[in-house]
Amino acid sequence: MNEKRLNLYRWILLLTCIITGIIGVNISYYDSYDQPSIVRDIIIVGSIIIFVLLCISVLYKRKTLPAKFKMVMYFSFTILVLILVLLEYLPLYKIIDPESLWPISDSGAMILAYITVLNYLILINRLEILIPSFILVIVTGIIINRFGLNEAASPVLIGGFILSAAGFIILAVKSFISVRENRFFVILFSVYCLIITSCYILFMVRFTEYYPARSATIDTIAVIIFLLACVGLLISMPFSNYIGWKKEHQSLFKRVVLIPLVFVFIIFSLKYLLPENTYRNLFFRQFRGDKIHFWMYDYELPDSHQSK
C-alpha cells in the first residue's frame, strides 16, 4: 500500500474511533440506567473494532509512521493525564458539580486508554527499556493511593501492571522466535517473564483492593511464586554460562528480569519485615470516618409539615 494512503487511513481510523467512543460514552450517560441502549452498544463495539484496525495499521509497516502522528500521540497522552488528574481534584474542593464531570472524565479515560495502547505499539521495539520504567509508573500509583486518591491511583496502577505484564509476554514470545543460538537463555528468560507477570497481576489485585477479603491468600500465592523463582534462579544460573552470553542478552536479562525481581523483593520485604500497621500506613491511607465516598455529602431533608 502507498505510504501516504496508509498514513491517511491511520488518521481517519484514529479520529473515527475517538469520535464514536465519545458518542457511545455520552449516550450511556444520558440514557436511563434501567433501559439499556442498543444504539450505545453498537457504537461502542464499532469503536473497538475500528481501534483494532487502527492498531493493525500502526503495526503494519510501523517504520512508515510519520513523526507528526507520534508527536500527537505523545502530546495527547501527557495532556490527558494532566486533565484527568485535575478533574479528580475539582470535586474535592467543590469547584464544580461532580455529576457534570462524569461524561467528561469517562470520555477522557476512554481516549487515554486508546492513546496509551497506541504509544505502547509505537514503542514496542523498546520494551526492554519501557518495562523497567513502568516500575516508576507503579510507584507513582502507590504514592497517589497513599494520599487517598483511590479513583486516580487505580488507573495508574492497573495501567502500569497490565502494560508491564503485556511487555513481559511479548518479549518472551520474541525471544522464542528470534534467538536461536542460546536456547538456555530463551527458556530461562521466558519462564521468568511469565513468573514476574503473575506476580505483577497479583500485586495489581492486591493494591487496587478489589478483593480485600482474599488479601492474605493473594499475598501467600505471590510469596510462594517469588520464593520458588529465587530458588530456581540460584540453581540455574551457575549452569547457564552467563559470562558467555552476548552482551545484548545479558543487558536484556538484567533490565527485564533482575530489576523487576528486585522490585518485587522490596515490596515483599516491606510487607513481611514491617509490622502490619506500619505496612498499611506506608501503602494505604487510613481514614478516620471523615472521607466522603462518591461525593455523597450530607444534606438536610425538607420538613414535610412546612411543605404542606
Residue 23 located in a structural domain: no
Does residue 278 have a pLDDT over 80? Answer: no
Q: Give residue 139's pLDDT.
A: 83
Residue 108 located in a structural domain: no
CA angle 190–191–193, rounded 5-degree value? 65
Q: Give residue 212's pLDDT.
A: 67
Does residue 304 have a pLDDT over 70? Answer: no
Does residue 135 have a pLDDT over 60? Answer: yes
Per-chain mean pLDDT for the chain: 76
Q: pLDDT band at 34, cuts 50/70/90?
A: very low
Residue 45 located in a structural domain: no
Q: pLDDT band at 300, cuts 50/70/90?
A: low
Instruction: Show the domain range for 154.
Output: 126-285
Lowest average pLDDT, out of 12-26, 65-79, 91-105, 167-181, goes to 91-105
Q: Give residue 287's pLDDT.
A: 47
Lowest average pLDDT, out of 77-86, 158-167, 211-220, 286-295, goes to 286-295
Residues 50 and 10: their CA atoms lie apart, in Å, by 10
Residue 47 located in a structural domain: no
Residue 223 located in a structural domain: yes
Does residue 282 have a pLDDT over 80? Answer: no
Does residue 174 have a pLDDT over 70? Answer: yes
Q: What is the average pLDDT across 65-85? A: 83
Q: What is the pTM of this model?
A: 0.72
Instruction: Tally the domains of the chain.
Output: 1
Q: Report the percentage of the chain scoring pLDDT > 70.
A: 74
Residue 74 located in a structural domain: no
Residue 41 located in a structural domain: no
Residue 136 located in a structural domain: yes
Q: pLDDT band at 306, cuts 50/70/90?
A: low
Does residue 288 have a pLDDT over 50? Answer: no
